[in-house]
């Protein structure tokens, strides 16, 4: 599977996210764009139905609202949430099985069409307090991530229009991390 996956430094694309939350009958569907850069972190731009930007970086986890106001979910020291979420999303989107296998038991399936799937079950530890399981599906890129939280919430993210060139952040993309 590592052979099939492109070794990306910067990955950008669009997403369609569907959340199924406890207490909600209907799924919550949102769309937007993201940029992921190794060494920097990730910017998650939700465009519809409500705009917001989530920046995960070494500086923590920040939400930038549509009106420009910034809310720090986890600052430097609240490192927990930020670094856990950040590291996990980075590992999932880059298919970093080496990093994931420290915290998850991984079941890998290679498909005939060049695709693959990973089934991740948390090992005892921090991840087991957050997730029941995580499924990843991809080919050259990761195409889909499905997370099932410990409280029963599900998040299903499909990625489209993925591009790993150029391998550096454009000036505009880099600005989003600020």
Partner 1 sequence: MIDLSGNATRLRRRWRWAAAAWLTLVLALGAHQISFWSTPRLDGDILALLPGEPGDPLLALANQRIADSATRQVVVVLRGANWDESLAAAHAFTASLDAQQARLRPVASEQGAAAALAFYRPFRDRLLTPAQRTQLQNANPEVLAEHALAALFGPSIAGAISAWQADPLTLWPAWWQQRLGRNLGQRDGMTIAMDSDGPWIVLPFVVDAAAFRLSSEAYLQSVLDRASASARTLAPTLSVLRAGVPLHAEAAAVRANWEVNTIGLGSLLAIVLLMWMVFRSVRPLALVSLSLAIGWAAGVSATALAFGNVHLLTLVFGASLLGVAEDYGIHYFASRQARDAMGSHALMRHLLPGLLLAWSTSAVAYLALGIAPFPGLRQMAVFSGAGLAAAFLTAVCWFPWLDRGLPPMNRFGRAIAGSLATWPRLRLQHRSTWWAIAALSVFTVLGLLRLEVRDDLRSLQSSPATLVTQQRQIDALLALPSPAQFYLVRGNSAEQVLQREERLAARLDALVADATLSGYRATSGWVPSRSRQHADAQLTARLEMLALRRASTAVGESVARPAFATTDLRVEDWLQQPLSMPFRPAWLGQTGDVWASVVMLDGIDARTDLALLQRQAAAVPGVRWVDRTADISQLLGHYRKMMGSLLLAGFALVALMLALRYRSLAWRAVLPTAVASLLTLAALAWLGEPLQLFTVLALMLLLGMGIDFGIFLLEHRGDGASWLAVSLGAASTLLAFGLLALSATPALHTFGLTLLLGISLVWLLSPLLRPLPVAVADRPAGASVPIESIHRD
Where on the chain is the footprint of partner 1 (CB under 8 A)?
Answer: 17, 19, 21-26, 28-30, 44, 46, 49-52, 54, 61, 63, 65-67, 69, 71, 73-74, 76-81, 83-85, 88, 125-126, 129-131, 147, 149, 151, 153, 155
CA distance 114 to 72: 41
Q: In angstroms, give the least distance from the CB of 86 to partner 1.
A: 10
- Smallest gap from residue 60 Cβ to partner 1 (A): 10
175 exposure class (CB count in 10 Å sphere: 0-12, 13-18, 19+): exposed
CB of 174 to partner 1, least distance (A): 21
User: Is the CB of 6 or the CB of 81 nearer to partner 1?
Assistant: 81
* Nearest CB to partner 1, comparing residues 1 and 142: 142
Decide whether 30 or 97 has the Cβ nearer to partner 1. Answer: 30
Of 60 and 116, CB closest to partner 1? 60
């Amino acid at each position: 599977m590592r052979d099939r996956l492109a070794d990306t430094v910067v990955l950008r694309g669009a997403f369609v996210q569907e959340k199924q939350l406890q207490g909600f009958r209907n799924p919550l569907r949102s769309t937007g764009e993201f940029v992921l850069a190794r060494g920097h972190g990730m910017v998650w731009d939700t465009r519809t139905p409500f705009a917001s930007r989530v920046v995960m970086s070494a500086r923590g986890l920040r939400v930038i609202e549509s009106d420009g106001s910034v809310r720090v979910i986890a600052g430097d020291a609240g490192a927990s949430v930020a670094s856990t979420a950040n590291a996990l999303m980075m590992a999932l989107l880059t298919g970093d099985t080496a990093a994931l296998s420290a915290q998850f038991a991984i079941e890998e399936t290679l498909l005939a069409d060049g695709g693959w799937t990973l089934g991740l079950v948390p090992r005892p530890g921090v991840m087991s307090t957050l997730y029941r399981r995580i499924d990843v599906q991809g080919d050259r890129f990761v195409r889909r991530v499905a997370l099932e939280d410990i409280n029963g919430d599900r998040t299903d993210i499909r990625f489209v229009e993925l591009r790993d060139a150029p391998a550096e952040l454009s000036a505009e993309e880099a600005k989003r991390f600020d």
